[in-house]
């Protein structure tokens, strides 16, 4: 057959391909099928399994202790699988009258116990709660102190947050004019110093968060809250960084503009200061923090270095006063909110989660700064970077010794 014949041959009609369902439709169907299967398994499988043998498992955790004149209030949470009913309460082996908690407390539910007891300031007390099945749950009060009312302490916490958050950060930012006159090598040293400062903050905050998580009731995960907060903060700041990177394509050796990098540092420090303020407020609310000039000076020296870390990437930029003021507020103002929240709501779980958020935020900021530490040879951990990081860690450690409550 000739070529012309081949070209003139009629085309054979092929059956049309079946239309495919959109991906989102398949996703919804898959989720609905999985949900229906799980519900059916829970209903049918739960009925087919035998009841648990042995006595009920009763676990109680004291989440909050409030001391009023002649009264001790305990907020308890059932962290076990079975309901718990409190039958009697003893304070230092003395039977006391109790109001509340007479009904069974379901899993993860809370109850407030009001104990009529003439406690004395500064004395230790051991509260023993006897359940209806004979299980004894103990809670220790190392030193009794009157719990301040939230209204009377919020103004004080706002003032304290200003002292330890906004003012020190603003003082550290005053070194920006000096940074504009130094060489690029000095700027890299300051950025390495920033990494050391942030690394120490992340380590210190992580250890404190794990301690708080371990001391919590564990109803919501305990130390796992720290990891959850860190992961969420890291991912959220990564998303913010991508959005800022898309909007601001300004050339820089680190692949990011100085203002954008300063913004990320300020956000990371702000989230850390939120957890720090929360710890300050909750410690004062339970009488474990003595306010005074030494505490304020210690926090001021400790947090002034945070202001230096914020302006270190701005050595080559010309930010306006409004932009600098905004960076300072982003980094320092969360200390006010944290102190007020900590004084009003004393929650170990919340403190651990927010400190974990600060750790994750700081880790993401360190990832942002790291490329700017490369020297002319392209090495990340060059002598200049190592020296700056070491100096930053030592500065934070030494100034941190002045913050002992």
Domains of the chain: 60-141 (2.60.40.10), 150-403 (no CATH)
Label residue 245 by pLDDT band (50, 70, 90).
Answer: low
Phi, psi of 110 (to 5 degrees): -120, 160
Q: 251 phi and psi, to 5 degrees?
A: -70, 140
The pLDDT assigned to 233 comes to 81
Q: Which of 309, 314, 348, 356 is nearest to 332 (CA)?
A: 309
CA distance 309 to 269: 9
pLDDT digits (tens, 9 = 90+) for 4-30: 555 555 555 555 555 566 777 878 888
Query: Which pairing describes strands 71-78 and 110-116: parallel, antiparallel, or unpaired?
Result: antiparallel
Which among 107, 46, 105, 101 has a CA at the least distance from the CA of 72?
A: 101
180 within 8 A of 315, measured Cβ to Cβ: yes
Mean pLDDT computed over 270-296: 69
Contacts of 12 (CB under 8 A, 6+ apart): none
The residues that bridge with 61 in the sheet, in sequence order, are 77
Q: What is the pLDDT of residue 44?
A: 75
pLDDT attached to residue 126 = 93
The token pair at 351 is: 């403190």
Separation between Cα atoms, residue 303 and residue 399, nearest integer Å:
9
Tokens, residue 39: 């519900």
Which residues touch 354 (CB under 8 Å, ≥6 apart)? Answer: 229, 271, 274, 275, 278, 338
Q: Which pTM value belongs to this model?
A: 0.62
CA gap 299, 173 in Å, rounded: 16
């Amino acid at each position: 057959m000739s070529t012309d014949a081949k070209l003139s041959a009629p085309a054979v009609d092929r059956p049309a391909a079946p239309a495919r369902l959109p991906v989102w439709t398949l996703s919804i169907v898959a989720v609905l099928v999985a949900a229906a299967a799980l519900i059916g398994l829970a209903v049918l499988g739960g009925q087919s399994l035998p009841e648990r043998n042995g006595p009920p498992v009763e676990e109680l955790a004291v989440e909050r202790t409030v001391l009023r004149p002649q009264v001790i209030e305990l907020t308890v949470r059932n962290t076990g699988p079975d309901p718990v009913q409190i039958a009697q309460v003893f304070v230092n082996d003395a039977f006391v009258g109790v109001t509340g908690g007479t009904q069974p407390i379901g899993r993860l539910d809370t109850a407030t116990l009001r104990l009529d007891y003439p406690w004395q300031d500064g004395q230790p007390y051991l509260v023993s709660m006897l359940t209806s099945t004979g299980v004894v749950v103990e809670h220790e009060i190392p030193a009794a102190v009157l719990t301040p009312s939230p209204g009377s302490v919020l103004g004080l916490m706002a003032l304290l947050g200003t002292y330890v958050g906004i003012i020190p950060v603003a003082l550290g930012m005053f070194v920006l004019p000096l940074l504009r006159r130094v060489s690029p090598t000095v700027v890299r040293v300051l950025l390495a110093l920033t990494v050391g400062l942030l690394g120490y903050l992340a380590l210190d905050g992580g250890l404190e968060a794990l301690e708080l998580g371990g001391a919590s009731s564990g109803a919501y995960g305990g130390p796992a809250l720290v990891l959850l907060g860190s992961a969420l903060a890291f991912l959220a700041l990564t998303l913010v960084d991508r959005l800022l990177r898309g909007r601001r394509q300004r050339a820089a050796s680190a692949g990011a503009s100085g203002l954008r990098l300063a913004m990320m540092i300020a956000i990371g420090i702000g989230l850390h200061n939120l957890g720090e303020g929360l710890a300050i407020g909750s410690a004062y609310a339970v009488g474990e923090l003595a306010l005074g000039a030494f505490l304020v000076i210690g926090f001021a020296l400790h947090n002034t270095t945070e202001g230096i870390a914020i302006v270190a990437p701005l050595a080559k930029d010309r930010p306006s006063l409004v932009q600098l003021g905004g960076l300072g507020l982003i980094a320092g103002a969360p200390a006010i909110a944290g102190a007020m929240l900590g004084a009003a709501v004393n929650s170990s779980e919340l403190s651990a989660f927010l400190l974990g958020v600060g750790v994750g935020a700081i880790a993401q900021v360190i990832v942002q700064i790291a490329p700017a530490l490369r020297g002319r040879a392209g090495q990340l951990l060059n002598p200049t970077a190592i020296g700056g990081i070491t100096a930053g860690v030592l500065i934070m450690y030494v100034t941190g010794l002045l913050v002992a409550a």
